[in-house]
Amino acid sequence: MTSISKKEIIELLALRGGEQADLHKRASEIRKNHVSDRIYIRGLIEFSNICVNDCFYCGIRKSNNRINRYELTTQEIMSSVDEAVASGLTSLVLQSGERRDTLFISNVAETLRLIKDKHPDIGITLSCGEQNKNVYREFFEAGASRYLLRIETSDENHYKKLHPESMNFNNRVRCLRDLRSTGYQVGTGVMINSPYQTPEILAGDILFFRELDIDMCGMGPFIPHRDTSMGGWDYNIDESLNLGLNMIAVLRLVMPDINIASTTALETLSHQGREMGIQAGANVVMPQFSPAKNRNQYMLYDNKPVSEKPGSELVDLISRKIKILGLIPAAEESGTSIHYLRRNDNDSSC
């Protein structure tokens, strides 16, 4: 991991024009040297938009009664998994709104076991929010090897401005540490250019990632959702895109060997946003494999790009775009975080 000060990060995030292009080129070279030119493709299955949280910015918050709630059946999830495997993928992301009821936990664990029984070599990233450590262990033993829990901001005061009192910043951090001690490859992320955010907060986010020693990161620009209390928030699309890309690049400089996703939110701001994220140093993309009928119901923010094309066609399209960038689409590789592998090797040698 690279040593860098908060002041230096702020200066890098502010780069634009030719200096910004140089930053992105440098980050891409670091990715090549520390990870590879291979871009990992993970099939994304958003299996439920039911959520117990009421985050002020999120379109699936529990108080939003203007969306149709859904929860995929086990059969529907398995059908999506089979489609991803038939498309040549060896890595999946299962994502949902946050729930902690017994039925939800047991269904997730059983689904994980079914997936691993049928496709034992598949890598599974789970993103189901805050749970207690015993639940994380149950999911891990059932087959999930990676877990993404976005903290959205590493500044506690900023966190309180984005979330209701029922949500606790320290508990979210506790969950991230529990995930690490359970054995997961741990991922987190933040919203970029979100309400009340400052450059100092964003720089602190980068340092938080380094201090937590994360293995992967999924972060993207804040985009308002009309049915939230922050739906009318004024934001600059160009600035959000530039900051989003620079955050990827700076994180690649600071943590050279972690996995970094080029997220859908970047594509919302620019048709070339996903490719721009890769050029800024990202090495993971996640095409949709949810059933087409449900894709526009998992709407965390307005104008999320939703395709009705089968997941296999999306994989082919993304693969072609990756090749145009002079990089290698790695659909057939699970893409375990090199940072995670190196840390485990160091731990085992102690």
Sheet with 43-48: list strands edge to edge.
Answer: 43-48, 91-96, 123-127, 146-148, 185-188, 216-217, 259-260
Return the HEC string of the chain.
CCCCCHHHHHHHHCCCHHHHHHHHHHHHHHHHHHCCCEEEECEEEEEECCCCCCCCCCCCCCCCCCCCCCECCHHHHHHHHHHHHHCCCCEEEEEECCCCCHHHHHHHHHHHHHHHHHCCCCEEEEECCCCCHHHHHHHHHHCCCEEECCCECCCHHHHHHHCCCCCCHHHHHHHHHHHHHHCCEEEECEEECCCCCCHHHHHHHHHHHHHHCCCEECCEECCCCCCCCCCCCCCCHHHHHHHHHHHHHHHHHHCCCCEEECCHHHHHHCCCHHHHHHHCCCCEECCECCCHHHHHHCCCCCCCCCCCCCHHHHHHHHHHHHHHCCCEEECCCCCCCHHHHHHHHHHHHC
Residue 3's pLDDT is: 87
pLDDT for 348: 56
Note the pLDDT tens digit of each residue in 81-114. 999 999 999 999 999 999 999 999 999 999 999 9
pLDDT < 70: residue spans in the chain: 347-350
Top-tier CATH class for 6-345:
alpha beta
pLDDT score at 346: 74
Angle at 143 between CA 139 and CA 146, to 5 degrees: 75
pLDDT at position 350, please?
45
Quick one: CA dihedral 102, 103, 104, 109, positive or negative? positive
**Tens-place pLDDT, residues 160-215:** 999 999 999 999 999 999 999 999 999 999 999 999 999 999 999 999 999 999 99
Distance in angstroms between the alpha carbons of the first and the last residue of the chain = 19
Provide the residue ranges of all domains of the chain, joining segments of one domain with +. 6-345
